[in-house]
Structure 1
């Protein structure tokens, strides 16, 4: 492979690589980049698209030594974390995810910083056990380490991901509290049609969009009354029909060019800032719940109305039936329970007496025979 060559299958890369840079796939199918000027030494470069790549490339081009992050001993867990946080994969994570995982790594390094080659499946299991009192945090630790070691395997730092086969902790949680009808009424009384708050609520309710999608949703996704977009979290394409009432609300509200919902400066929200803003507006209306609770109400309403698991998947962007069935199972239990109780009533309704005198209103067959003679 030569510098400057176009690789049509590598969509995330530019059509032309920098001068003296070549790339090749390693045994895991991941692109790796090298600098080599003429017959000089071939130098491995960091992941393309990161600030570290630009720094290393410039250093190689000028013949200066590049200064890398060396807060931790080479080949230690902290060293591996630093390399991971320099990668393009890390850069593709959301700001909130990078912040959360950065804190997880920082906390893990407070107790020890062993050579990353010494970390085994048992090491991860022990770390999970130490966090058993806070299962959600334990599972977040597992997810962060698993993704980091998966990257390390692809980039030839380790041969085996020690998180493979380590089970996450199971625990019961109701998650975000769903909104109910009284919350919707209270919010609408506070924020009439024409306000951004009202539009945000109706979009959340009728579309069921996540925060990460509603901040990007705009008129470019709407054709007539049909709304369609690809979700950020799962990449699933969702298509829904907006009711006329929502179309009217959109037309009555000042929106952005590419986003229905904008902040006070007319700019689109980030998913984090939207969540904070909507939560604050909800509290001002006397509702101490968040945006995801509206999505849960939307899904519950659809399930109670008879939507199937696959219909819910199509609207809410889930890629498997597991999440959808949390709503359909509850709705089915209600419907089936009512149906079953009606069957019971039909079968035994005539058996139960309706008066104080068990014999009143109905003559037993043996008494009828006696009255007619022997």
Structure 2
């Protein structure tokens, strides 16, 4: 476990929070700022403006402490009630209500009301694994407009089977309907709510991706000593420059097309020859020749500059993926994809 730097004692709790948010910057800290009230933002902004120079050891300790606490968040006791109270304290009432409705699942007085507020694609994906007779009962309980959309999203043969059973259906015993409701509540609705929650390790992986290579390694090494399981999970979720080598050729060509040429030259100058060949191969012969000349004309450059350029290239690729222009294949899973 790392010890606190002596300089840390000079900083109060609000000052530490302000320093942490300043270190996270706009991109990584925006989610935290959005959760604050106007008064909290004003208070922290005032403290931030008066911080002056903060020692690097203090900044590193605050970031490490933050990453450790977020990564081990599962040790906290959370419930719908405590979460709702927290959101009501930091958000506007309407926004807190909307978020809690999303967490609890679709709104509605009955199970069938709730199902009618679930996306037809999501509901159809679940129902295609059920018995056609069960799906037929569920379809008769949904609003006709929503049932039609769900039916259209089901595989054609499966949907026809369900329709035939609906046509022949006799009154269903109340006990059977109750069992179906209970199954939907315990399996589908609970899984739907859990799927909407984000793993805190994913947040930390994004934060670490935005750090320069030396800081990233130093913090992960320190985290290894304090929370090795969390460190391993974060490493598995991080998307690195080396992972770009798993992109399909069209995706690499799109990254090359959108990248700043100097950034690309710096990134490739510090890259293994295999990565250079991969990216240069996505360029025209003339462009590849000019890129090699640009790299050669740079002369010696600091490794940190190359690493920062590589990080920028990763951020560009993730931005392109967010816009749907490319697909990032997750190297830790042969079938999974990150969009």
Instruction: Flag the structure with higher helix content.
Output: 2
From the two aligned structures, give the one with the greater strand fraction: 1
Q: Larger RCO: Structure 1 or Structure 2 (Cα < 8 Å, ≥ 6 residues apart)? A: 2
Task: Sort the TM-score into its range (normalised by shorter chain).
Answer: under 0.3
TM-score normalized with structure 1 length: 0.23
Q: Which one has the largest radius of gyration?
A: 1
